[in-house]
Amino acid sequence: MLKKRSRNELRLKRKTRIKYKIRGTLQKPRLCVFKSLNHIYAQLIDDTTGNTIISASSLDSQLKGKVKGCNIETAKQVGILIAKKALEKGISNVVFDRNGYLYHGKVKALADAAREGGLIF
């Protein structure tokens, strides 16, 4: 009898499949998205050294009073914030890593807001 896989197990399977195709460098880092029940996180990662260059989340002090919970509006604010921080450091081109999540809802809102903020991917 086949065991039914949970939603997170299927996401992790997609994540490992995607992981081998996407690599970030210092000139073109990887924009990785993670979402939990209460918050959403985005970070720019240089995979050659394994360092996080920039990070933004719904927990940032700049967004603390503006957002509540993890919804599409919060994802848009985090996308705008990560784009602003990246442009301040001189980074405009990124590789988008949806981290196994479907490109829908909060992930899509974050990506669209980052594009509107000036990131190219």
Q: Sheet holding 30-35: strands in order across? A: 51-57, 40-46, 30-35, 95-97
User: How far is the first Cα of the chain from the last one, in angstroms, to the nearest whole number?
Assistant: 43
Q: What is the pLDDT of residues 6-33, one digit of tens each?
A: 989 999 999 998 888 888 888 899 999 9
Q: Check: CB of residue 67 under 8 Å from CB of residue 79.
A: no
Q: Tell me how far apart the alpha carbons of residues 83 and 113 are, in angstroms, rounded to a whole number.
A: 8
The reported pTM is 0.88
- Rg value, the chain, Cα: 15
Tokens of 44: 């720019």
pLDDT at 93: 95
**How far, in Å, CA of 86 to CA of 92, rounded?**
7
Q: What is the pLDDT of residues 74-114, one digit of tens each?
A: 999 999 999 999 999 999 999 999 998 989 999 999 999 99
Check pLDDT > 80 for residue 36: yes
Q: Could you read off the pLDDT of 40-70 as tens digits, one per residue?
A: 999 999 999 999 999 999 999 898 888 888 8
Name the residue ranges covered by the structural domains of the chain.
31-116
The dotted CATH code for 31-116 is 3.30.420.100
The pLDDT value given to residue 19:
83
